Amino acid sequence: MSRIEQALAKAAAERKRTPGKLHGFDDDPIHSKQLELTPEMLYGMDPRIIALFGGASAAAEQYKQLRTKLLRAKKLYSHNTVMVTSSLPAEGKTTTSASLAITIAQGLQETVLLIDADMRKPGIQRALGIDPQHPGLADFLSGRITLEKAIVKTPLPKLSVIPAGSIPGNPSELISSEKMSSLITEAKNRYRDRIIIFDSPPVLSLTDSIALGQKVDEVILVVYAGRTPKEAVKDAVQSLSEVNLMGILLNHFDTLPLYYGKYKLKRSYGYGYGYGHGHGHGYGHGYGQSGHKPEEKDY
Ligand SMILES: Nc1ncnc2c1ncn2[C@@H]1O[C@H](COP(=O)(O)OP(=O)(O)OP(=O)(O)O)[C@@H](O)[C@H]1O
Ligand SMILES: [Mg+2]
């Protein structure tokens, strides 16, 4: 049994399983049954994330669609590692990676390992209500702890987390280290039914995400709708030319004015996202919309 295998098996065995109620979702061809989230499972999480799952939210529906795309990529190409990044800070990377992880963990087949690879500005513990002192990725990569000690079990039976851990002095070195590469390779090859999601720093601030993006199967670029400058998105896409950019997720879509540039938006959708050409380098409609400033309103 490999190191990761042992660590995850132990985490799973120790986990106090909460039985969940099941109900069907007709719109999800891959997972027809889901775990219904209970207040206990969401306890301590960022209220914004709880709000996403607190009913029939449009954003939750968008995450389900994104999950479907990811699960198809896994089925067709055995892609099971995905990194979430953005051009600039505070566009919603952590919110997106945590929400996507929860959405996938609601399914009955895939388990999810969410790894906070933004070691300078970790956010996953806050988003999911994990003890901020819990050791994590940085401690493991620095050789201070075993992987097993870095894994946090969550009240969601299929979701485990590796938080960022103690803020290191050399995050870029750790990200591009051999140990990080072997962690990804091992996770990718040994756990075909596990989706591994990496939260990461913004692309235009640091090279960490570019290095990490080249090691994972898929990359999602989060764009703050109406705020991220078109040039920043362009530059980020360019920087990510060597990665497999799965698509752009348009975050804060719901806060846009009704008319955004020349586009008339459907306000019923909380989030929007665009996809490229599946598994090449590309981007979808989200990029175009993000580049148009609203003509009439300030926001
Ligand atoms: N769709 C949304 N609607 C409302 N608030 C949001 C949304 N997405 C993110 N936020 C909020 O915006 C803030 C920044 O989001 P988040 O931490 O996910 O961004 P980030 O890209 O990870 O930031 P950083 O670059 O600092 O790591 C948080 O307070 C988060 O709760
Ligand atoms: Mg973040």
Q: What six digits make up the tokens of 90?
A: 């505070």
Q: 42-52: per-residue pLDDT in tens?
A: 999 999 888 88
pTM over 0.85? The answer is: no
Mean pLDDT within 109-115: 93
Is residue 265 over pLDDT 60?
A: no
| Nearest-atom index, ligand 1, CA of 118 | 27
Domain with 251 in it: what CATH number?
3.40.50.300
Q: At what angle do helices 58-77 and 93-105 cross, to 10 degrees?
A: 70
pLDDT at 62: 78
Check: CB of residue 125 under 8 Å from CB of residue 53.
no
pLDDT at 14: 52
97 CA from centroid of ligand 2 (Å): 9
Residue 98 lies in a domain: yes
Q: How far apart are CA 299 and CA 227, in angstroms?
A: 9
Q: 218-240: per-residue pLDDT in tens?
A: 999 999 989 999 999 999 999 99
Check: CB of residue 20 under 8 Å from CB of residue 207.
no
Is residue 139 over pLDDT 80?
A: yes
Mean pLDDT within 290-297: 30
Number of compact structural domains in the chain: 1
74 CA from centroid of ligand 2 (Å): 25
Check: CB of residue 270 under 8 Å from CB of residue 62.
yes
Query: 49: domain range?
Result: 3-290
From 52, 94, 198, the mutation candidate for ligand 1 (largest count of ligand atoms within 8 A of CB) is 94
| Nearest-atom index, ligand 1, CA of 202 | 25
Q: Which residues make Cβ contacts (< 8 Å) with residue 276, sequence separation at least 6?
A: 245, 246, 247, 282, 283, 284
Residue 282 lies in a domain: yes
Q: Which long-range contacts (CB under 8 A, 24 or more apart) does 13-21 make?
A: 14/153, 15/153, 15/157, 17/157, 18/155, 18/157, 20/157
In the numeric block, the tokens 């996202």 are attached to 273
Residue 297 lies in a domain: no
Residue 296 lies in a domain: no
Residue 298 lies in a domain: no
Q: How far apart are CA 128 and CA 156, in angstroms?
A: 11
